[in-house]
Amino acid sequence: MLTLGAQSSGVSTLDQVLSGDIDVAFLANTSNNTYDAGHVMNPTGVGPATATPNFEWSMVATQDVAQMLNGSFKVVLRGPAATGFTMKGADATLQLTFTFTAFQ
């Protein structure tokens, strides 16, 4: 779930910040390998905008599994800026919320 943070200034909705296909990825701290977590398409309003999950453990390299399980990764958000965002002098705080399900 992607939400526009209350601390944002100069923008009041997600579509004033981002547009198009917004990619959410996990970046392993040691290897710098990137793993696709999901996508948000054309977010609007303040959110939460639902992401379509895309993460598959089978894609995680062996050397990164322990890091991922221990939280030793960063979350990366990539996508095109909304038209005019860079000219506004705005400051957007974005919040991502993840829900993980444990399987045996």
Per domain, the residue ranges of the chain are 2-96
> What is d(CA 3, CA 11) in angstroms, rounded to the nearest whole number?
13
What mean pLDDT is predicted for residues 16-24? 95
Q: pTM of the prediction?
A: 0.83
What mean pLDDT is predicted for residues 53-63? 93
The angle at the Cα of 91, spanning 45 to 48, to the nearest 5 degrees, equals 25
What mean pLDDT is predicted for residues 15-32? 95
Q: What per-residue confidence (pLDDT) applies to 104?
A: 67
What mean pLDDT is predicted for residues 37-47? 94
Cβ atoms of 10 and 88 closer than 8 Å: yes
> What is d(CA 82, CA 31) in angstroms, rounded to the nearest whole number?
31
Q: Tell me the longest C-alpha to C-alpha distance in the chain.
A: 49
| pLDDT tier, 100 (very low <50, low <70, confident <90, very high otherwise) | confident
